């Protein structure tokens, strides 16, 4: 029979043996990880201060990491973080299938500096990346980023192209493998949460996008203070463009997206949302008609949606209490002609270019030029190769002072009286529109102005109103109207041509 002392000695030997075994295993695992990391250090890709490995707690960590991704002789991306902690390594998956899986990966205080380079170099890099990741199979139960900063610049100009502050980012069930790496979104995931602020994206040389704050959690994504602006003021803008182009300034205090998602469909991205709500937006538009006309084809919205480089599927979009101001400069001396819409409330259904879907429909109500109520119904089918559409609208009680805001600066005429009601109904396509027009005039008079924009040509105005005296008082209806589209003009110019030509027919 073993004595208690003998038993104690055996237990101590077992404990010491296990301790040595675990210490040796821990030393071996740390040595293997360090060897892999040091290969990247020797190649000049990786720098770090310290490595901690603990197989007892199944955790590993790096501190003060810097990863340099060489893109050309002079250009590289830099990824840095104060700390990286991985836990819950799955040894069985690694030994049986050569797959690397962690239950949790946390990256703290990361800074990402990216450089956008020319396409040829990027293609080479992608080829190298795909070769390097042929056998890569990574997965994480949870991937977390804390206090991350991203900054991307242009290789040549060094201008900022994208930047963002991301206090919190989390993805669940993240998978990166030889299949996902070649997709537009190189990872698969089940869910995510993100909080970001001070987001900036350069849309072009003429416009920038910024978002004050972004918060996405569960099924709701909220954007605050979304803004699209030009770096140039509207009068300076004209000196930076060769042809007529709209300057705009858009501010949306709040955007809500429900069930927002991004996925890959074949070789393109797919953007989807159950609903989008844009609240209290302010849009200012300015066009300088003194510039040469835009010479190239402008597609209608149905074709624009159909030919987008990404797939979209949005069931319902609500525009709430939005104001739009449009100014048109036609003469050397300001002010420009102006029209404005206040308290726009609209619903857009089926904004879609993927799969089988019904036509897009738009229902809108607004106050036009202050007091005139305007209602519009519009539908189009982005699958139609001829870009067919239907549009109708009713305008109620437009007074002379509201009409003169636009026609006096733009056309050098002034009006007296009012329009009780104006209604139009058109069916059209990319080439031609046909429809009807109804106008109920309330003793409307037209006065031609002299060059100073204030004095009337009295005798010409008198003759004109004598000729039109029976035409501009009472209701007039014209049917079977035809309007041809100018292919280098926008849809809204097309709509304006329908209303203008229909109105002119009522006074012939």
Confidence at residue 162, expressed as pLDDT on a 0 to 100 scale:
94
Confidence at residue 131, expressed as pLDDT on a 0 to 100 scale:
42
Beta strands in 266-359 (DSSP E): 268-279, 282-288, 311-329, 337-352
Confidence at residue 69, expressed as pLDDT on a 0 to 100 scale:
78
Confidence at residue 495, expressed as pLDDT on a 0 to 100 scale:
95
CA–CA dist 172, 109 (Å, integer): 20
CA–CA dist 101, 140 (Å, integer): 6
| Of 100-104, 219-223, 275-279, the least confident | 100-104
DSSP state of 238: G
Q: In which band, very low, low, confident or very high, does the pLDDT at 18 lie, cut at 50, 70 and 90?
A: low
CA–CA dist 337, 456 (Å, integer): 18
**Average pLDDT for 300-321:** 94
pLDDT above 50 for 331? yes
- The model carries a pTM of 0.85
Confidence at residue 335, expressed as pLDDT on a 0 to 100 scale:
78
| Of 144-153, 189-198, 398-407, 408-417, the least confident | 408-417
The residue with greater pLDDT, 61 or 13, is 61
**Average pLDDT for 336-353:** 94
User: Cβ(194)–Cβ(165) under 8 Å?
Assistant: no
The per-residue DSSP string of 184-201 comes to SS--B-SEEEEEEEEEEE
The residue with greater pLDDT, 42 or 207, is 207
The per-residue DSSP string of 135-164 comes to T--EEEEEEEEEEEEEEEEETTT--EEEEE
The residue with greater pLDDT, 501 or 346, is 346
Residue 327's nearest CA partner among 442, 238, 198 is 238
The residue with greater pLDDT, 224 or 32, is 224
Q: In which band, very low, low, confident or very high, does the pLDDT at 3 lie, cut at 50, 70 and 90?
A: low
**Average pLDDT for 249-260:** 97
User: Cβ(342)–Cβ(292) under 8 Å?
Assistant: no
Selection from 366-380, 394-408, 456-470 with the highest mean pLDDT: 366-380
| Of 103-112, 285-294, 383-392, 471-480, the least confident | 471-480
pLDDT above 60 for 2? no
User: Cβ(326)–Cβ(339) under 8 Å?
Assistant: yes
The residue with greater pLDDT, 135 or 287, is 287
| Of 126-130, 328-332, 490-494, the least confident | 126-130
CA–CA dist 8, 155 (Å, integer): 70
CA–CA dist 183, 194 (Å, integer): 22
pLDDT above 70 for 130? no
In the block, residue with structure tokens 């059209």: 428
Q: In which band, very low, low, confident or very high, does the pLDDT at 445 lie, cut at 50, 70 and 90?
A: confident
| Of 267-271, 443-447, 465-469, the least confident | 465-469
| Of 37-41, 243-247, 454-458, the least confident | 454-458
Burial of residue 324 (number of CB atoms within 10 Å: 0-12, 13-18, 19+): middle
Confidence at residue 460, expressed as pLDDT on a 0 to 100 scale:
44
Confidence at residue 22, expressed as pLDDT on a 0 to 100 scale:
59
Selection from 99-113, 234-248, 333-347, 400-414 with the highest mean pLDDT: 234-248
Tokens of residue 470, six digits: 């029976």
Return the sign of the alpha-carbon dihedral for residues 33, 36, 37, 38: positive
Q: In which band, very low, low, confident or very high, does the pLDDT at 9 lie, cut at 50, 70 and 90?
A: low
Confidence at residue 448, expressed as pLDDT on a 0 to 100 scale:
66
The residue with greater pLDDT, 356 or 428, is 428
Confidence at residue 129, expressed as pLDDT on a 0 to 100 scale:
45
In the chain, what percentage of residues exceed pLDDT 90? Answer: 51
CA–CA dist 163, 95 (Å, integer): 40
Confidence at residue 245, expressed as pLDDT on a 0 to 100 scale:
94
pLDDT above 50 for 113? yes
User: Cβ(187)–Cβ(180) under 8 Å?
Assistant: yes
| Of 13-22, 267-276, 372-381, the least confident | 13-22
Q: In which band, very low, low, confident or very high, does the pLDDT at 454 lie, cut at 50, 70 and 90?
A: low
In the chain, what percentage of residues exceed pLDDT 70? Answer: 82
User: Cβ(165)–Cβ(198) under 8 Å?
Assistant: yes
Q: State the chain's mean pLDDT as an integer.
A: 84
| Of 6-10, 167-171, 214-218, 224-228, the least confident | 6-10
């Amino acid at each position: 029979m073993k004595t208690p002392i003998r038993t104690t000695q055996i237990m101590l030997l077992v404990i010491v043996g296990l301790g040595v075994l675990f210490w040796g295993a821990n030393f071996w695992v740390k040595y293997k990880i360090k060897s892999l990391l040091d290969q990247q250090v020797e190649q000049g890709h990786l720098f770090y201060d310290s490595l901690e490995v603990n197989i007892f707690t199944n955790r590993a960590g790096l501190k003060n990491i810097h990863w340099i991704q060489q893109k050309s002789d002079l250009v590289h991306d830099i990824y840095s973080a104060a700390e990286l902690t991985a836990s819950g390594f799955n040894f069985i998956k690694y030994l049986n299938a050569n797959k690397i899986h962690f239950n949790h990966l946390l990256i703290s205080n990361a800074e990402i500096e990216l450089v956008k380079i020319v396409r040829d170099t990027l293609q080479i890099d992608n080829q190298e990346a795909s070769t390097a990741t042929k056998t890569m199979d990574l997965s994480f139960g949870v991937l977390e980023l804390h206090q991350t900063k991203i900054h991307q610049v242009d290789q040549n100009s060094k201008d900022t192209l994208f930047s963002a502050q991301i206090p919190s980012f989390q993805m669940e069930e993240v998978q990166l493998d030889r299949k996902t790496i070649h997709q537009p979104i190189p990872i698969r995931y089940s869910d995510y949460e993100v909080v970001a602020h001070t987001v900036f994206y350069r849309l072009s040389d003429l416009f920038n996008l910024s978002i004050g704050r972004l918060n996405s959690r569960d099924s709701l994504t909220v954007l605050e203070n979304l803004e699209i602006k030009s770096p140039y003021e509207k009068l300076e803008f004209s000196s930076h463009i060769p042809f007529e182009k709209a300057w705009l300034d858009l501010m949306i205090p709040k955007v809500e997206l429900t069930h927002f998602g991004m996925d890959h469909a074949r070789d393109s991205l797919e953007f989807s949302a159950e609903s989008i709500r844009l609240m209290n937006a302010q849009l200012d538009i300015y066009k300088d008609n003194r510039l040469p006309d835009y010479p190239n084809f402008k597609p209608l919205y149905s074709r624009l949606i159909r030919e987008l480089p990404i797939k979209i599927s949005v069931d319902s979009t609500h525009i709430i209490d939005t104001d739009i101001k449009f100014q048109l400069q036609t003469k050397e001396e300001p002010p420009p002609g102006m029209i404005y819409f206040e308290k726009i409330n609209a619903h857009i259904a089926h904004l879609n270019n993927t799969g089988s879907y019904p036509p897009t429909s738009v229902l809108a109500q607004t106050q036009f030029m202050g007091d005139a109520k305007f209602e519009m119904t519009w539908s189009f089918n982005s699958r139609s190769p001829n870009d067919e559409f239907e549009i109708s609208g009713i305008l109620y009680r437009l007074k002379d002072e509201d009409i003169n805001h636009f026609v006096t600066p733009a056309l050098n005429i002034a009006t007296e009286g009012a329009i009780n009601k104006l209604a139009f109904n058109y069916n059209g396509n990319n080439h031609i529109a046909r429809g009807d027009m109804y106008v109920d005039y309330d003793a409307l008079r037209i006065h031609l102005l002299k060059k100073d924009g204030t004095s009337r040509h009295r005798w010409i105005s008198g003759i004109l109103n004598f000729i039109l005296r029976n035409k501009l008082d009472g209701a007039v209806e014209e049917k079977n109207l035809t309007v041809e589209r100018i292919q280098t003009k926008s849809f809204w110019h097309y709509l304006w041509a329908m209303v203008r030509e229909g109105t002119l027919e009522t006074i012939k």
